[in-house]
Each structure stands twice: as C-alpha cells, then as structure tokens.
C-alpha cells in the first residue's frame, strides 16, 4: 500500500513517524521555542494541558499542520518537564481521544474522499500491527480479525462489546467506524505513553520550563500511590485496575468491588480515593463520599463487604484463573487457596 | 480415589503402564517446542510433580518408563523457564484448548451406569439407588462411571458443534483443529492455529462465552428497549446473516424482510423481558457445553496425547475421523495378557477393544486392558495366586 500523507493528515495525526520526519526537514531547533514568534505555540500547548488538568477533556481544535505538529511536540516537552505519571497518562489519553475523532471522521468518508480510509488503515497497520479491511459486503462497515478484536475488546465492560453480541463470520468481526476506532483508543494512548517515556530531549528550553512550573502548581496534590503489586491481587481486581489505568469508565458494580476489596485488605480511604483519580469522570468529592459510604463512615454506618465471586461472575466482573480455584470471595485470593487441592490439569 | 486401590492393584497398574511406555513409547506425542513446556507427572500415590522440563521426547519417554506415572501432563503454554514458579516462568503464549466433559452434558443415562464402591467392605453397586452401602451401611463411598455409547455420541455431538463454531464463525481452518479423546470421559479440542496463542485469559473468556452462548443481548438482533412502546426493532447493519444472529433468527423463524413478524413474536411472548429470556435460552441451548475454566486458564497443564489416563488405562488419542471413532476400541492400547481380578460389582456387561464381556463371576481371568480398566474405575481388585496353595490371595478389604 503506497499512499502519501498530505500536510493536513500530519496535522490530525502528529504522532505519525512522517510528522517527525517533517520536523527534521525544517531544521527546527529546540531553543527556537524561546523565540517570540513561537510564543503562541507554547501557549497553545500549555493551554491544552491546563484544560486537560482541570476538565480532563481533549482539545479538538485544528490548525495548520505546522502549528499542530509543533503543539504536539511542545505538549510532550511540557509533560516531560512536569514529570507526573498521572498527568502523562491523562495527556496521552486526551491526545488519543483527539485522534479518535479524526479517525472516525476519516472512516466515514465516502465517494471521492474514500481513499482517506487508506490513511487510517496505515495508521492501524503501522502503529498497532492490526489489519482493518473495509467490508465488501456491508457499506461503511469494517472487518477486523477475531483475534485482534478479542485482544482489545476485554477492556470494555459494556455487554455489547462481548464477542457474542457482534456480527462474527469466518474469523472476522464487523464493526462500524465508531466502534472500529473505539477499539484502539486505549492502545493509542498507551503507545503515546511509551513514546514519551522513550523520548530524551537534549535539554528543556526555558519557556517550556516556565510553563511546566505554572502547570505543576495547579496539579491536584497526588496522595501516595498504592504500591501496586499486580500478582498479589485477584484477577477481577487486576482487571478493574487495568481498566482504570487505560482510562476506561468502570461500571458502578466494578467500583464497589474495587473499593470494598481495597478496604478489606486494609488500604485507607485516601489511598482508595486516589485510585479512582484516573477515571474519566473523576470527581474527588464524590469519590470520597462513595468510598466513605462503603467503609461505613457515613449514612447507615454499615461496612460493605466485598461481593462474592458468584456475584461478580454474574456481573461479568470475574476473570478467574486457576489460582481462583475454590474461592468464594476475592479476599481469599492468595491466602487459603494455597492449601486447597487445586484442579490445574485436564 | 487412591483409597479404592490395594497395594496389589497398584502393582498391577504399574506393570501395565510401564509395559505400555516400554513397548508403545512411540505413541507419545511430542509437543512443539518441547523444551519450553512445563510437564507434570502424577504418581499412583496421587501426588503431582509439576514444573518439570524435558528437552527431548526420548528423555520424556525414558522417564515415563522409569517413573511410571499414572498421568502425564504438559502445559499448553510455552515458557522461557518452564521449571521456575509460575510468576517467573516467562509466558510465551499458549495453545487454545477446549474441554468437553461428560459432567457438563447432563446425560440422562449417567445414573444407570454410575457405580459406588464401598471403601469399608469393598463391594460396589449402581449408585443413585442408595446413599450408603447396602451391604455394610458405611458412608465411605467412592463414585465411578463407565460411559455408555449414548454418552459417547452425546460427546461427539458437542465436539461437532464446537467444530462448526470454530470453523464457520471463528474462521479456523479444519486442518488446524486437533480433536483428542481424553482417555476417560471427554474430548480435548486443540487449536493449532498459532495466531490464537497470545490471547490472554480475558480474551479467551470472551471467546469461551461466545461458544457457550452466554451473555447475549436482544440488541444484537436489533431489539432494543423503548420507554413508550416497550421495545423497538431496528435490524443491525449486516443484518442477521451470520454467526449467532443467524442461529437465533433461524430458530425463531424471523428475517430482516419482516419486522412485523418479529414484532408479533415478541408480543406473543409477552413483551421485551420475555423475549430477552427466550433469546438467552436459545443461545444456551445452541451453545457448546465446553468447560470455560479450562479454556480461560493459560497456565494449566493438559494430558499429553499418546499417554495413558490413570482413571481408565485408556490412551489420550487423536481422532482423525470423529464419526467412526470408537473410544472403547482405538484408545485401548494395553496388552491382552491375562490377569486375575475380583470384580466387585455383580453382573457387569461392557465392550472394550472390540470385544464384549459379560462378567458374572466374582473371580475372573481377563485381558490386562480390561483388568486395568476395571481396577482404575474402582470396580475390581487385582488378585494373586498363592504359589503354595494355588488359592487366591484375597487382599484385605481396607487397604
Ligand atoms: S474467581 Fe473470584 S477472585 Fe477469582 S477472578 Fe473471579 S471473582 Fe475474582
Ligand atoms: Zn460396605
Ligand atoms: Zn450414558
């Protein structure tokens, strides 16, 4: 597939390798960012991040490609300078959401502009090693391999994402443009996160440092993170934590599970509230209220118990592995089970 | 289960198993990348040794002859370091495997061929008739079962259903599916297409739910909730042409050409809630009775093809033609050499290795394969002749 990316494409997808190539051809120098001519770019990027911190929402405005590519780059530099894992994640998620909107738009193109789709396929193929075919049979539908679908769909808790609720045929899952792009959102975010981690700018220009300092001052004070030892948690809890990390919206039942579990193993309310920080609809006051309620410090003064495995299984929150053999409640995980006779062979 | 066996029984089983691995070691199938697999050997004492590694088939078979385990397992996963504890093994993907077991089929005939063996007086009887031993009243009972032909065809039927799901829906080519008789009460279906190997347990759980027919929404066929009119129909893009959508619509007798028909059907059933329930029933019924825990667990060990099943003395074996496959013949690989056993169940009829047996006497001379089968099932004990008196040495009833 040989397609050329236009400048307008780079504006929408500034994370593509082609955008970096473009930059290298412009003889751009990091210290140029201190020039007054580029002041507006630095401010644009800074505002974008400010908006992310305060509202948790991406900026969908679209400018000329020179502006967009630079804004993207400056954004990353500021994020690097602030150096907060939480904010970095949030930023990546917002950049992914932003790209998602353009991707959906491109996938819906018909007629003359339909070859825009080719670009989208290129993005998927190169970035995510995933093939997407426009369906020959159904207009505006796309086909992905069952395996590619399964690897990603488990991040969504809505029942409609379960394979059984999809049109499946001959090893392919059929999706509409929104669903197709939705499928890769968190992956795109993770990819950006990885890239930012690998980026090592020679130095951070002063203007960037200034912006970083201003933004750092409006960051919510992050309480101590939970020491996250994944293998110590049962699969249901790990799954919920993964979803949170990917910026997914957890259903109420999953939040209750997570909170009651963390209470049961002795985490304090502060720590638990901070866990929910990553949720797209995070609101500290409400989260705190809910956790305190579950802890029995409010209302009925009843301390809520961790739901049973049977209940969780019913709610689609159970992801049992062999280590769950014989468990009745997730809190038993890693404790009593060791002495149970485990059925591990067939 | 081990309690049902006497020292004499174990002695005989070990001889038979050792003989098998010595003479028919070539039946043992070498798993791909054998050096990256975790092996587990179960002893006749019921103790499983896990986290073992073999770098060649020859080495494995030598061990089987030398150690004579009752059961041999290998991981479907490949690991960098198979012998380390789970968390340090370095998981490198695992074959996708489905398990279809008689216990999940609710066969009606099962009670008629399930047996209980009393561990106190070592007599046996058809279970279901009594809670406690009819002879001595003990409650110390071990259950066992000899699957019948009806059970076998029930299992085959599920396997064929599974094949259809895997080929037409999931798109796996038929030659990439290996179907094995487990050697006891079930079948293992191995997917050889490696593109499934890196699915994690959550992805496998979703796939298993698809095949089981669990979690369907009426929305999938276009029926959604409507606050004013109870429900609303808008057929999905792609219609009802394939997969579950097609199965459900065929069963309900509906098609995208007639919304009216579906609408009437929902009303006849009593509304959206009832319709939803109906759809869920259909998918449960048409789904395959796989054991989803088995498919979902990516750190499990599975019986190695070509080895003996300690619960029966039959071999886990590849079925090249499922329709004609007879588990009571092809998987029976032990020798014909005669042994003496004391049968604990009166009047037992069965078919094995192409022969019919009517066991009416308590003490009988039977071929090794039958002796092992009965002993493994807890329905007979090995007996030795006293060289001095020429009489049977009847082992003590409680081991
Ligand atoms: S079995 Fe229990 S502990 Fe294990 S994943 Fe399911 S709900 Fe969690
Ligand atoms: Zn008895
Ligand atoms: Zn039967």
* pLDDT tens-place string over residues B344-385: 888 888 999 989 999 998 899 999 999 999 999 989 999 877
* pLDDT tens-place string over residues A149-202: 999 998 887 889 999 999 999 999 999 988 988 888 788 888 888 888 888 888
pLDDT average, residue stretch B216-233: 90
Judge: A160–B71 Cβ closer than 8 Å, yes or no.
no
Which pLDDT band holds residue A64 (cuts at 50, 70, 90)? confident
B193, B291, B297, B326: the active-site residue: B291
Q: Let me know if residue A122 belongs to a domain.
A: no
Q: Let me know if residue A117 belongs to a domain.
A: no
Residues A267 and A167 in one domain: no
Q: What sign does the CA torsion over A32, A36, A37, A41 have?
A: positive
- More confident: B156 or A305: B156
pLDDT average, residue stretch B235-262: 91
Residues A173 and A46 in one domain: no
**What pLDDT score does A203 carry?**
84
| Chain A with chain B: Cβ pairs closer than 8 A | 134
* pLDDT tens-place string over residues B114-123: 888 887 877 7
Can you tell me the distance from the alpha carbon of B292 to that of B100, in angstroms, rounded to the nearest whole number?
A: 9
Closest ligand 1 atom to residue A320 Cα is 5
Judge: A345–B219 Cβ closer than 8 Å, yes or no.
no
pLDDT average, residue stretch B39-52: 94
Closest ligand 1 atom to residue A333 Cα is 3
Residue of chain A whose Cα is closest to the Cα of B294: A346
Alpha carbon distances (Å) from B107 to B104, B124, B209, B289, B354: 9, 22, 22, 12, 24
Can you tell me the distance from the alpha carbon of A106 to that of A180, in angstroms, rounded to the nearest whole number?
A: 12
Residues A169 and A248 in one domain: no
Which pLDDT band holds residue A112 (cuts at 50, 70, 90)? low
Q: Let me know if residue A102 belongs to a domain.
A: yes
Which pLDDT band holds residue A272 (cuts at 50, 70, 90)? confident
Which of B29, B44, B4 minimizes the C-alpha distance to B310? B44
**What pLDDT score does B42 carry?**
96
Which pLDDT band holds residue A4 (cuts at 50, 70, 90)? low
pLDDT average, residue stretch A288-305: 79
Residues with CB under 6 A from ligand 1: A 234-236, 309, 312, 318-320, 324, 327, 330, 333
pLDDT average, residue stretch A89-115: 83
Can you tell me the distance from the alpha carbon of A127 to that of A120, in angstroms, rounded to the nearest whole number?
A: 11
**What pLDDT score does B393 carry?**
61
Domain ranges of chain B: 25-105+149-211+290-329, 110-147+333-393, 214-286
In the reported structure, the alpha carbon of residue A53 is separated from the centroid of ligand 3 by a whole-number distance in angstroms of 65
Which of A190, A295, A299 minimizes the C-alpha distance to A247? A190
Please say whether the beta carbons of B185 and B228 come within 8 A.
no
* pLDDT tens-place string over residues B282-323: 999 999 999 999 999 999 999 999 999 999 999 999 999 999
Please say whether the beta carbons of B71 and A345 come within 8 A.
yes
Residues A206 and A58 in one domain: yes
Q: How many CB atoms lie within 10 A of CB B5?
A: 22
- Selecting from A153, A169, A321 the residue whose C-beta is nearest the C-beta of B206 gives A153
| Whether residue B153 has pLDDT greater than 80 | yes
Residues A84 and A212 in one domain: yes
| Whether residue A206 has pLDDT greater than 80 | yes
Judge: A151–B87 Cβ closer than 8 Å, yes or no.
no
Active site annotation includes B291:
yes
**What pLDDT score does A230 carry?**
46
Judge: A164–B244 Cβ closer than 8 Å, yes or no.
yes
Closest ligand 1 atom to residue A235 Cα is 5
| Whether residue A118 has pLDDT greater than 80 | no
Q: Let me know if residue A140 belongs to a domain.
A: yes
**What pLDDT score does A117 carry?**
75
- Selecting from A138, A146, A235 the residue whose C-beta is nearest the C-beta of B170 gives A146
Q: In whole numbers, what is the pLDDT of chain B averaged over residues?
A: 90
Q: Let me know if residue A224 belongs to a domain.
A: no
Which residue segment(s) compose the domain that A141 sits in? 131-183
| Whether residue A2 has pLDDT greater than 50 | no
Judge: B210–A164 Cβ closer than 8 Å, yes or no.
yes
Residue found by looking up tokens 């038993």 in the block: A332
**What pLDDT score does A3 carry?**
54
Alpha carbon distances (Å) from A112 to A26, A116, A139, A295, B315: 32, 9, 15, 59, 62
Q: In whole numbers, what is the pLDDT of chain A averaged over residues?
A: 82
pLDDT average, residue stretch A230-253: 79
In the reported structure, the alpha carbon of residue A343 is separated from the centroid of ligand 1 by a whole-number distance in angstroms of 15
Active site annotation includes B99:
yes
Please say whether the beta carbons of A309 and A321 come within 8 A.
no
Residues A2 and A151 in one domain: no
**Ligand 1 atom 2: residue of nearest CA:** A309
pLDDT average, residue stretch B183-202: 95
Q: Let me know if residue A125 belongs to a domain.
A: no
In the reported structure, the alpha carbon of residue B145 is separated from the centroid of ligand 3 by a whole-number distance in angstroms of 9
What is this structure's pTM? 0.78
Q: What domain count does chain A have?
A: 3
- More confident: A62 or B309: B309
**Ligand 1 atom 6: residue of nearest CA:** A318
Residues A205 and A60 in one domain: yes
| Whether residue A340 has pLDDT greater than 50 | no
**What pLDDT score does A327 carry?**
85
ipTM: 0.90
* Residue B308 per-residue DSSP state: B
User: How many distinct helices (H) and strands (E) make up chain A?
Assistant: 15, 4
Residues A23 and A41 in one domain: yes
Can you tell me the distance from the alpha carbon of B51 to that of A345, in angstroms, rounded to the nearest whole number?
A: 13
Residues A33 and A176 in one domain: no
CA distance B278 to chain A (A): 16
Can you tell me the distance from the alpha carbon of B140 to that of B322, in angstroms, rounded to the nearest whole number?
A: 39
In the reported structure, the alpha carbon of residue A312 is separated from the centroid of ligand 1 by a whole-number distance in angstroms of 7
Residue of chain A whose Cα is closest to the Cα of B195: A147
Residues A195 and A173 in one domain: no
**What pLDDT score does B338 carry?**
92
**What pLDDT score does A223 carry?**
46
- More confident: B320 or A339: B320
Closest ligand 1 atom to residue A234 Cα is 3
Judge: B236–A167 Cβ closer than 8 Å, yes or no.
yes
**What pLDDT score does A337 carry?**
41
| Whether residue B184 has pLDDT greater than 90 | yes
Which of B116, B38, B143 minimizes the C-alpha distance to B80? B38
Q: How many CB atoms lie within 10 A of CB B76?
A: 26
Judge: B299–A162 Cβ closer than 8 Å, yes or no.
no
DSSP A182-232: HTTHHHHHHHHHHHHHH---S---HHHHHHHHHHHHHSPPPPPPP---GGG
**What pLDDT score does A228 carry?**
45
- Selecting from A138, A145, A231 the residue whose C-beta is nearest the C-beta of B238 gives A138
CA distance B398 to chain A (A): 24
**What pLDDT score does B399 carry?**
39
Can you tell me the distance from the alpha carbon of A271 to that of A262, in angstroms, rounded to the nearest whole number?
A: 9
In the reported structure, the alpha carbon of residue B383 is separated from the centroid of ligand 2 by a whole-number distance in angstroms of 19
Share of chain B above pLDDT 70, in %: 95
- More confident: A78 or B395: A78
Residues A170 and A277 in one domain: no
- The CATH number that domain B25-105+149-211+290-329 falls under is 3.90.920.10
Please say whether the beta carbons of A321 and A236 come within 8 A.
no
* pLDDT tens-place string over residues B63-112: 999 999 999 999 999 999 999 988 888 999 999 999 999 989 988 898 88
Q: Let me know if residue A247 belongs to a domain.
A: yes
Residues A67 and A196 in one domain: yes
- More confident: B258 or B37: B37
Q: Let me know if residue A322 belongs to a domain.
A: yes
């Amino acid at each position: 597939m040989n397609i050329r990316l236009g400048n307008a494409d780079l504006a929408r997808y500034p994370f593509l390798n082609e955008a970096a190539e473009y930059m290298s051809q412009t003889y751009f120098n990091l210290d140029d960012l201190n020039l007054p001519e580029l002041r507006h770019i630095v401010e644009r990027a800074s505002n974008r991040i400010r908006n992310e911190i305060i509202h948790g929402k991406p900026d969908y405005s679209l400018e000329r490609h020179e502006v967009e590519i630079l804004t993207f780059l400056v954004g990353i530099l500021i994020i690097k300078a602030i150096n907060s894992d939480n904010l970095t994640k949030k930023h990546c998620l917002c950049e992914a959401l932003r790209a998602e909107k353009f991707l959906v738009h491109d996938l819906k193109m018909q007629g003359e502009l339909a070859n825009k789709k080719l670009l989208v396929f290129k993005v998927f193929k190169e970035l995510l090693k995933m093939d997407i075919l426009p369906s020959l049979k159904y207009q505006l539908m796309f086909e992905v391999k069952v395996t590619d679908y399964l690897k990603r769909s488990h991040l969504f808790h809505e029942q409609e994402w379960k394979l059984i609720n999809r049109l499946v045929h001959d090893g392919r899952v059929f999706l509409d443009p929104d669903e197709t792009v939705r499928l890769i959102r968190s992956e795109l975010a993770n990819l950006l996160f990885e890239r930012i981690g690998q980026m090592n700018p020679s130095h951070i220009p002063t203007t960037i440092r200034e912006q970083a300092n201003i933004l750092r001052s409006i960051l919510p004070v992050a309480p101590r993170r939970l020491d996250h030892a994944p293998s110590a948690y049962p699969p249901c809890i790990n799954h919920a934590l993964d979803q949170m990390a990917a910026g997914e919206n957890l259903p109420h039942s999953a939040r209750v599970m997570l909170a009651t579990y963390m209470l049961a193993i002795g985490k304090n309310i502060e720590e638990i509230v901070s866990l929910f920080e990553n949720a797209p609809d995070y609101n500290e006051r409400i989260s705190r209220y809910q956790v305190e309620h579950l802890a029995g410090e409010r209302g009925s003064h009843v301390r809520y118990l961790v739901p049973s495995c049977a209940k969780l299984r019913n709610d689609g929150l159970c992801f049992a592995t062999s280590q769950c053999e014989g468990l009745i409640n997730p809190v038993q995980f890693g404790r009593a089970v060791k002495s149970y006779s485990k059925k591990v062979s067939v | 289960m081990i309690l049902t066996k006497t020292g004499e029984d174990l002695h005989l089983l070990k001889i038979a198993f050792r003989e098998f691995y010595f003479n028919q070691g070539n039946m043992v199938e070498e798993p791909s990348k054998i050096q990256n697999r975790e092996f587990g050997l179960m002893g006749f004492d019921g103790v499983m040794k896990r986290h073992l590694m073999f770098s060649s088939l020859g080495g494995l078979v030598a061990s089987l002859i030398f150690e004579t385990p009752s059961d041999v397992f290998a991981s479907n996963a490949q690991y960098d370091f198979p012998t380390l504890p789970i968390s340090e093994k370095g998981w490198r993907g695992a074959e996708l495997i489905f398990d279809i077991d008689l216990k999940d089929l609710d066969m009606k005939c099962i009670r008629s061929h399930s047996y209980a063996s009393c561990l106190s007086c070592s007599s046996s009887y058809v279970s279901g008739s009594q809670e406690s031993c009819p002879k001595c009243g003990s409650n110390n009972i071990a259950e066992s079962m000899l699957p019948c032909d009806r059970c076998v065809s029930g299992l085959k039927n599920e396997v064929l259903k599974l094949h259809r799901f895997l080929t037409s829906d999931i798109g796996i080519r038929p030659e990439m599916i290996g179907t094995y008789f487990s050697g006891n009460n079930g079948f293992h279906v191995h997917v050889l297409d490696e593109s499934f190997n890196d699915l994690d347990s959550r992805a496998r759980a979703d796939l298993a739910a698809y095949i089981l027919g669990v979690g369907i929404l009426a929305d999938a066929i276009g029926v959604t909730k409507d606050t004013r009119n109870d429900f609303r129909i808008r057929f999905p893009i792609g219609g009802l042409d394939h997969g579950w959508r097609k199965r459900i619509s065929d069963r309900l007798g509906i098609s995208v050409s007639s919304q009216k028909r579906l609408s009437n059907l929902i009303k006849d059933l009593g509304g959206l809630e009832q319709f939803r329930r109906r759809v869920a029933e259909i998918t449960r019924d048409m789904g395959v009775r796989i054991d989803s825990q088995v498919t979902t667990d990516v750190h499990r060990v599975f019986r190695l093809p070509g080895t003996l099943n300690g619960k029966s003395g039959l071999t886990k074996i590849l079925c090249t033609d499922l329709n004609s496959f007879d588990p009571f013949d092809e998987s029976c690989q032990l020798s014909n050499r005669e042994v003496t056993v004391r049968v604990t169940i009166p009047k037992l009829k069965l078919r094995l290795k192409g022969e019919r047996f009517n066991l009416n006497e308590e003490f009988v001379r039977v071929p090794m394969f039958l002796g092992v089968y009965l002993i493994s099932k807890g329905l007979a004990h090995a007996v030795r002749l006293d060289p001095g008196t020429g009489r049977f040495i009847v082992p003590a009833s409680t081991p």
